[in-house]
Structure 1
């Protein structure tokens, strides 16, 4: 059971809810939301409040007519904003979106009726997942996704997988419509899931790269304490120290100076770790941040409650942080491919070309390199900076967009492609080490021994055969912890 208090929510807990964990709102969160609702109601009695007493978007200057502020306008707003298109998103992503939105509401900045949040927690715990489609958001709040969620809660839309519409709330007041949908919860959720996937994957990719280093008798001078001390960032220094520990026991180096794919391991993996950490810090803030528009608060000069209309919902920083991580991963692809290439080269392993069974022209792992290159193509396409995009919408009322939603969806795609590249390298490095007669017990690093043992669970047979099963097995290994 994951407690939702509106103050702290670990990214790992979001992933746990995505995978099926239940949630529970704390009493403090419920009290905070109730106070926020009272504040919002009081403020709306003395001044215009966007979405409560006015229309939205280009209709922000249109005052709601007397008597049109009840359920009718709120339902119209939800229905009109619920349009999306494309392929349905997977259950895991949508569940992550639901818990992110629940956490944001629990922060107490929306002024929403706490009963809506309680109903949302019930939706999560009953595993009723709205059908959310891929196209709708542009990085300025996931209005379509959350409006569609509201319609599912109202019983007007069937959930993902069908089974009939299920009503979890009886009505939806105008005062609660905009506060519920004014969030980038889907975009944030996609980033969180990609971040959690990459956190484990990049660690495993480093271990696999160390196996390649050992298989090619790399020179550990490039990973030494002196190199770490001279590194340009703490993350690169830490990576050098980590790799130096991983390859202890690798033996005498074959070269005075290695190719870049071995020699620059600290820079490559250090830069990725640095960008991943920066994204994680931002996401930890966003899952409880007051990005509601308007934001209900109580900090006016006379101490009374008020609201603030703002633009924090535009996920500019999230788009930029995601782009930076994409660029770091994309820049590393050249060295990933080069290690795979050199593992197929007898000059670096002392084995037959392509790690084949013999020198009679067998292809060995030749085609694995093509698979990795195809995945690299996907990553490099994803790494084109999304934050440079823009658009003008809603009769000119919204003249910019972060397109963070596009960036985070691409980051999920990048994580999947990187797992494929790492799996290819694991197949090749493990085969090379096995053919060289190396054993896990030769190395002092428990982490390296664990990855080598995992790689040695791949099939022993090296004669030409269908390698799809090997790659599928390796894909599972690099996405798990060892």
Structure 2
């Protein structure tokens, strides 16, 4: 059971909820904070004080006073009018993460919602009811208003959800689980949609996939080193300690551990003096990506436990303050940085693919073809990889450098963080396919060299991968192989290979 406090939600707990179906509840202490915060809201309404979003309109309408007889209508209108999401829906796992993160923000006790609102959010999680939330339409400031409004629709029995693999009306799914929609009261609609949980949820899921792919990239690169009879001197610890980047040192250490018993690698001067940068600089390039991943993880962990509502209620209602914690700039920067770093993993991988297939750069059969000339082999796989890395270069253009004013210029600077998070996720998906192509080519190259000479770790990888993609003995529709390898990489972890090979996992 994951217990939400609003302070300590970790990636480990998020993974348990998203992938293992762990149930979620609220800590008793946090529940008391929520109740005290709610009393403050009710006092404001009863005394008809002017307070943004509670007794006023929203955005440019913040100067319009709303009487207590209309506060429920105000919140309902807010959710319906702001549900302007467009395009394809977020992956179901992102929708699930969005619910978890929004609930965790509300249990901090700064938002003034009734406990029932949080409880119903957790009901959605615990009963696997996931709102259908369109990906496009958020500016990433004033909160992820459009996406979170679609999430909020599920609480009031409107909109669509995914339930047991089927899209249906939210009211139907709630009814099947014996749940009832709620009526939003003062401030609750605003509290549900003022936040960065769409970009953060997308970022969390992207990060989890990126971290696993970064480890897999090292295993695949190790296979390529064997296929090209790479020089191990470039991975010597002294080189990397001399520069001083911890992540670079660790990448080199993992490569050495994977290839320590390989008979396919070479030493400096044995076949050639130096390898190309895409081989020799793996620790430097991959290490820089790991530095970025550490930065991204730190920002996401802060945001996962952040109060991003407006206004925020402090000291049991003695202070109710309007601010801008809903502004997504920290996550926007992190997501742009993530896209750039993961694009580079794909970029250097594509260069290694070229070295595997280009007969002018190696002594392997041209394009790893079983019958060069009659059969094209891996020729067009490199084309596909080149296309993906080129697409990544456009997706990695920073979204955060753009801003368009909204709400009659009241909201005159926005983060575009949700666009950044979506692009980062697309980059990761593209880079995984590039690495899938590298894996297919590297498997073929090492088998040509002699798989009996491979290191124990890479040999285990080959044996597992060959159950997914068979050896190339004649031309076939390689698109299917790429997708099969991509799917395998997405659902397996580097630890599976390491564990079987009984090599220490770093």
Q: Does 1:451 align with 2:457?
A: no
1:77 matched to which residue of 2?
A: 78
Aligned-residue offset at 1:46:
8.7
Count of residue pairs the alignment pairs up: 474
Looking at structure 2, the residues matched to 21 and 4 of structure 1 have their Cα atoms a distance apart, in angstroms, of: 12
Aligned-residue offset at 1:3:
2.8
Structure 2: tracts of 5 or more residues without a match: 175-179, 497-506
> Where do 1:3-42 residues align within 5 Å?
3-19=3-19, 20-42=21-43
Q: Please say if residues 140 and 196 of structure 2, whose CA atoms lie closer than 8 Å, have aligned partners that are also in contact.
A: yes
C-alpha spacing 1:25/1:181, structure 2 compared with 1 (3 Å)? same
C-alpha spacing 1:128/1:477, structure 2 compared with 1 (3 Å)? closer
1:237 matched to which residue of 2?
A: 249
Q: Please say if residues 454 and 477 of structure 1, whose CA atoms lie closer than 8 Å, have aligned partners that are also in contact.
A: no
Q: TM-score, normalised by structure 1?
A: 0.92
1:427 matched to which residue of 2?
A: 440
Looking at structure 2, the residues matched to 137 and 467 of structure 1 have their Cα atoms a distance apart, in angstroms, of: 38
Q: What RMSD in Å do the two structures reach over aligned CA positions?
A: 2.2
CA deviation string 1:451-471 (max 9, x = no partner): 233334331342222223322
CA deviation string 1:140-167 (max 9, x = no partner): 1112222222222212334341256246
Structure 1: tracts of 5 or more residues without a match: none
Looking at structure 2, the residues matched to 372 and 346 of structure 1 have their Cα atoms a distance apart, in angstroms, of: 18
Looking at structure 2, the residues matched to 63 and 46 of structure 1 have their Cα atoms a distance apart, in angstroms, of: 9
Q: Does 1:343 align with 2:356?
A: yes
2:499 matched to which residue of 1?
A: none
Q: Please say if residues 36 and 296 of structure 1, whose CA atoms lie closer than 8 Å, have aligned partners that are also in contact.
A: yes
CA deviation string 1:292-319 (max 9, x = no partner): 11122229xxxx7312211121111111
CA deviation string 1:233-265 (max 9, x = no partner): 222222222223333234324321111100110
> Where do 1:272-311 residues align within 5 Å?
272-298=289-315, 305-311=318-324
Q: Please say if residues 355 and 364 of structure 1, whose CA atoms lie closer than 8 Å, have aligned partners that are also in contact.
A: yes
SS in 2 for 1:183: coil
C-alpha spacing 1:66/1:36, structure 2 compared with 1 (3 Å)? closer
Q: Please say if residues 444 and 472 of structure 2, whose CA atoms lie closer than 8 Å, have aligned partners that are also in contact.
A: no
Q: Please say if residues 346 and 432 of structure 2, whose CA atoms lie closer than 8 Å, have aligned partners that are also in contact.
A: no
1:113 matched to which residue of 2?
A: 114
Aligned-residue offset at 1:267:
1.4
Looking at structure 2, the residues matched to 7 and 439 of structure 1 have their Cα atoms a distance apart, in angstroms, of: 52
1:467 matched to which residue of 2?
A: 478
CA deviation string 1:94-113 (max 9, x = no partner): 11111111111112221111
SS in 2 for 1:159: strand
Looking at structure 1, the residues matched to 69 and 466 of structure 2 have their Cα atoms a distance apart, in angstroms, of: 71
3-12 or 131-140, larger mean C-alpha shift: 3-12
139-148 or 195-204, larger mean C-alpha shift: 139-148
Q: Does 1:372 align with 2:382?
A: no
C-alpha spacing 1:332/1:419, structure 2 compared with 1 (3 Å)? closer
SS in 2 for 1:3: strand
1:183 matched to which residue of 2?
A: 195
2:504 matched to which residue of 1?
A: none
